[in-house]
Structure 1
Amino acid sequence: MAHEHEVSTRAEVRDPATYDLVIRRAHLFDGHRAHAGLYDIAVSGADIAAVSAEPLRGRTEVDAAEGWVMPGLIDTHIHFYDVHGVSDPESMRTFEEDDLPGRLGLFLRHGITTIKSVGDPTGGILETRAKIAEGTLQGPRLLATGCGITGRDGHPAATVFGGNPWARARFTAEIDSAQQMRDLVHDLADRNVDAIKLLSEGACAHPGSPKYVWHNAAFPDAVELARLPLDVLRAGIETGHERDLRVTVHTTQQVAAREAIEAGADGLEHGVTVEPIADDALVELMREHDITYTPTLWAHDATHPDIRGNVKKVADAGVRIALGSDTFSGRGVFGANTLDEAELMVAAGMTPLQSLVAGTSGAARQCARPDLGTVAPGKRADLIVLTADPTQDIGNLRELSATILNGEVVVDERGPRPRRTFP
């Protein structure tokens, strides 16, 4: 794999002055690969200023004690608002006042410095993003698509929110035509969303699609879904690209994945979960179109026996993988779920290094944020310090010593953290 940046020696560090922050004597995973030896990482303001094999000076110094420094983790697929508990203006306000700040803090305490919301109420999630950006809320960098776009009576409108009409109208947008799709994507772009998410298997009324029954142990009812009409899917992707936004598509079947790729999608959310990937040409199509594949094992591993084999198959073929947990309320712990996802990717057959790339530079690429996910001069200083080597044991992501966001130490912890193991 080619890399844009290499670490520096002392002679290559132009400014010998004291930096705002220096992490001292650390092993380094830079978002692409591990480097031999120990390094100092210097930060000026919110950005990485130098990575040096020789000592640097900082006004604030963090002694890594020969532990590991790597980019903060990026979870590219989360549902942040409480899909169970938000059902009217009062419960929405209660969630935002009582629960939201704590959830944000959980991500930081687990070393996740960027999250991407892919289906939350547009107004609420964009207001939360603004508060984090202005500093009135502390939390990871928040990227957001706003509501997920689906067909009439599609997923998650008729599934997750089938009994919650107030939330259904805010967490999702149901459309009936290509023109409605174009108008909605333009509206979201005007509101400065960071990306667009479409749900392919999301229009129950569309004739001629293979049957697919949606079911999730967290919800009581199964719902039969069909794919979005191709002209509607293509209209959403093309309009997103007109507005310079990446567009990812929720799929679960091979036929839906192929259709999304051929329509121009930038990535697949979930990919293929409900059946084994038997179509080698589909995997090659992912490579040819430079698709990013987001497995979301945390949410689907227990119920879909083919999902691990599919992840290994696409990873072995060189398809780009991004870490995304599909975290939602009511199960697990925000932040810890992301670490579970990294471990599940290894359990599926990826190497620890592949999993780390998926959670850093690979995830940054999926989010169209080249300033994130890499430890190199000029990149954003979103970093984590670990006491043990994650490139050999992915469980060592739980051995967090410090989280640094925008050049500021926001979490400083010592001691081991609990591990989970996956068969």
Structure 2
Amino acid sequence: MPQESEALASTEARGRSVFDLVISRAHVFDGRRSLAGLYDVAIDGGEIASVSAEPLRGRQEVEAAGGWVVPGLIDTHIHFYDVRAVSGPQSMRVFEEDELPGRLGLFLDHGITTIKSVGDPTDGILNTRAAIAAGVLRGPRLLATGCGITGRDGHPATTVFSGNPWARERFTGEVDNVQQMRDLVHHLADRKVDAIKLLSEGACAHSGGPAYLWRNPAFPDGVELERLPLALLRAGIETGHERGLRVTVHTTQQAAAREAIEAGADGLEHGVTVEPLTDHSLIELMVEHGTTYTPTLWIDDAHPDARGNLKKAAEAGVHVVLGSDTFSGRGLFGANTLEEAELMAAAGMTPTQVLTAATSGAARQCVRPDLGTVAPGKRADLLVLNADPTADIGNLRDLSVVILNGRLVTDTR
């Protein structure tokens, strides 16, 4: 909404006597910048109705007392289902009944109001999305790609799922040729996924591409793989775009990153992690194409060049977004996202840059302009903090209230 329209909407809203909910006397980070002074933020239904310097009245009120209101955080890269525990129908049911509800709640308890799953079993994650939307499950807004698409015997099929064939068939989509790629993307689009994720680094053994050693802290000895053939990469991106879906690509090397961007990828998952980012023209290409860069330091900080590469990209004006690559078995859902934000700051991003990456920037990557901004007409996903996150990103941990779709879902006051 243009600035003048936002101001008009706010003025009209102030004419109302009572709102559903009002957060009073708060500093505001609106998703891009801090607003000067103190504001009342009014909510009607699931939307923000007003951001007013004048006091407002609400049927329900949250006194911020000079604290901070920021948009709910968005983690654009998570893996929700437990890849170690889920190995058949019975273990899937046990996970969904015993573990899934509590893990969803952890995100809200840490201020993450939207998560994007980028490689979970398609049926399971879409059923979970529907249950959250219907109010059957308490959890953050869930966006999902369904399975990640890779080449035959690529990552994560032969790395993470090498000993788990049942999960391999469901968490990953392995394709051998262009037609299979197009068919799978169409199938996922028909299932109403929110985006498509391709994995560039890993393909069929006979692709003829240059082999390399895939490394990850969980696989210190490395696994030799080949990149997804260019024809398949292009087919996946083109088909996703034909269906109106954003397509992001898993990369770790400069060559793969360039190939993905030139093929039309909208974003890079991980970006460049296993080597220094020395190709300045690649950075310029990212800026020119508006490519989003998701550094996933929570998992990739073990690579010595990951922080420096992020700093170079951010300083050049690349659209950086927060995505932790959090998964079951390490750390804690929700807390891992906050650690990602702190690692991004440690890499050299300012707290304001990190906050933008976790709110309006992440919303842009998810093609959800209704999220990530504190302004009239936007979705009322909001956090109330006791301390200034623009001074210290660690203050995201000093959380008192979480509001999702206009309703208090966490209140520690």
If the length of structure 2 is used for normalisation, what is the TM-score? 0.97
* Shift in Å, 1:11: 5.0
Q: Is the 8 A contact 1:268 1:294 kept in 2?
A: yes
Give the 3 Å change call, closer, same or farther, for CA 7–53 of structure 1 in structure 2. farther
Give the 3 Å change call, closer, same or farther, for CA 50–209 of structure 1 in structure 2. same
Q: Is the 8 A contact 1:75 1:323 kept in 2?
A: yes
Give the 3 Å change call, closer, same or farther, for CA 14–62 of structure 1 in structure 2. closer
Partner of 1:187: 187
**Secondary structure of 2:37's aligned partner:** strand
* Shift in Å, 1:216: 2.8
**Residue 60 (1) aligns with residue 60 (2):** yes
* Shift in Å, 1:42: 0.4
**Secondary structure of 1:215's aligned partner:** strand
Q: Give the alignment of 1:313-332 within 5 angstroms.
A: 313-332=312-331
Give the residue type in structure 2 aligned to 1:398.
R
Q: Is the 8 A contact 2:6 2:376 kept in 1?
A: no
Q: Is the 8 A contact 2:9 2:376 kept in 1?
A: no
Q: Is the 8 A contact 1:206 1:229 kept in 2?
A: no
Structure 1 stretches lacking a partner, 5+ long: 415-423
Give the 3 Å change call, closer, same or farther, for CA 10–359 of structure 1 in structure 2. closer
**Residue 391 (1) aligns with residue 390 (2):** yes
Partner of 2:24: 24
Q: Is the 8 A contact 1:148 1:199 kept in 2?
A: yes
Partner of 1:421: none
In structure 1, distance between residues paired with 2:104 and 2:284: 38
In structure 1, distance between residues paired with 2:11 and 2:247: 43
In structure 2, distance between residues paired with 1:136 and 1:408: 15
**Secondary structure of 1:27's aligned partner:** strand
Partner of 2:273: 273
Identity of aligned residues (%): 76
In structure 2, distance between residues paired with 1:231 and 1:209: 12
Give the residue type in structure 2 aligned to 1:329.
S
In structure 1, distance between residues paired with 2:247 and 2:52: 38
Q: Is the 8 A contact 2:10 2:50 kept in 1?
A: no
Q: Give the alignment of 1:84-95 within 5 angstroms.
A: 84-95=84-95
Q: What is the number of residues matched between the two proteins?
A: 412
Q: Is the 8 A contact 1:250 1:269 kept in 2?
A: yes
In structure 2, distance between residues paired with 1:88 and 1:142: 24
Give the residue type in structure 1 aligned to 2:57.
R
**Residue 402 (1) aligns with residue 398 (2):** no
Partner of 1:420: none
* Shift in Å, 1:218: 3.0
In the TM superposition, structure 1's runs of 4+ consecutive aligned residues that sit over 4 Å from their partners are 2-12
* Shift in Å, 1:15: 3.3
Structure 2 stretches lacking a partner, 5+ long: none
Q: Give the alignment of 1:198-277 within 5 angstroms.
A: 198-219=198-219, 222-277=222-277
If the length of structure 1 is used for normalisation, what is the TM-score? 0.95
Give the residue type in structure 1 aligned to 2:112.
I
In structure 1, distance between residues paired with 2:220 and 2:16: 62
Q: Deviations over 1:238-271 (max 9, x none)?
A: 0000000000000000000000000000000000
**Secondary structure of 2:216's aligned partner:** coil
**Residue 73 (1) aligns with residue 83 (2):** no
Q: Is the 8 A contact 1:7 1:52 kept in 2?
A: no
In structure 2, distance between residues paired with 1:219 and 1:164: 16
* Shift in Å, 1:183: 0.3
In structure 1, distance between residues paired with 2:22 and 2:358: 24
In structure 2, distance between residues paired with 1:356 and 1:71: 9
Q: Is the 8 A contact 1:251 1:271 kept in 2?
A: yes
Give the residue type in structure 1 aligned to 2:167.
A
Give the 3 Å change call, closer, same or farther, for CA 206–28 of structure 1 in structure 2. farther
Partner of 1:336: 335
- RMSD over aligned Cα atoms: 1.6
**Residue 123 (1) aligns with residue 123 (2):** yes
